[in-house]
Amino acid sequence: MADGLDVAACLDRVRRRDEAAARELVGHLWPLVIKIVRAHLPRALDEEDLAQEIFMKVFANLDQFRGEVPVEHWVSRVAVSTCLDRLRAQKRRPEWRWADLGEAEAEVLEAVLHNESEPHPSQGMAARELAVKLLDSLGPEDRLVINLLDLEQRPVAEISKLTGWSQTLVKVRAFRARRKMRKRLEELERDELRMMKVRQGTSSSSSSSK
């Protein structure tokens, strides 16, 4: 990372219980941890609370870090496993319907379902929000793998290292998760058609009554 911190020396100082070094290490690792937290944050959880939990785990297990891999890799793994634990603890998985979507999200979905090309890049933010909403309905492992692979574009080998799963398992999980996502989108499409029929029904009945 670009803050010019000598990580090895900082870790040595932290091991000698230097509080200032611990602060420096938190500042150095913050961008990495918050990026992972934001990508995998379960709903109704505060990102700062989750980041705090990750840092406390990092400090609690610092003696187990042997320095065989860069500290950032090790911390990423701790962060991903903590996020996975939190996702597993989340009992409720909302099933979104067409009516629950915002205007921008509905426009993106319309483009995804009915246009040959993908939505316009300017709709990226809404597309991301819609994708995250749909990911909410997946199980924790499926959600994690598809987020890392399809949204963050991480290679399978890296996901395997981060999660501790074999590369084959990562691929199988991604394959199943993608199938579920396609199914969710088809369900939303059916929901849209149902709503359109209801609207047409109400408009024709009101015009005939006039």
Partner 1 sequence: MRVWRIEDEDEDENWNQTKRPMNDKPDNWTKLSLAARHAPPQAPREPPFGFATRIAARWASGEVLMSPAPWEKLAFRSLAFAALLMIVSVSVNYDLLDANWLHELPPADPVFGNLLEP
**Could you tell me if 93 and 101 are in contact, meaning their C-beta atoms sit under 8 angstroms apart?**
no
**Total residues at the site for partner 1 (CB under 8 A)?**
62
Ranges within 97-116 binding partner 1 (CB under 8 A)? 108-109, 111-113
Q: Residue 175 corresponds to which amino acid?
A: F
Tell which one of 15, 88, 182, 197 touches partner 1 (CB under 8 A): 182
**Could you tell me if 160 and 170 are in contact, meaning their C-beta atoms sit under 8 angstroms apart?**
yes
Rounded to whole angstroms, how far apart are CA atoms 94 and 18?
45
Position 172 contacts partner 1 (CB under 8 A):
yes
Part of the chain binding partner 1 (CB under 8 A), chosen from 66-74, 93-101, 178-186, 196-204: 178-186
Position 185 contacts partner 1 (CB under 8 A):
yes
Part of the chain binding partner 1 (CB under 8 A), chosen from 4-12, 68-76, 162-170, 190-198: 162-170
Part of the chain binding partner 1 (CB under 8 A), chosen from 32-40, 69-77, 91-99, 199-207: 32-40
Rounded to whole angstroms, how far apart are CA atoms 198 and 91?
33
Rounded to whole angstroms, how far apart are CA atoms 170 and 119?
28
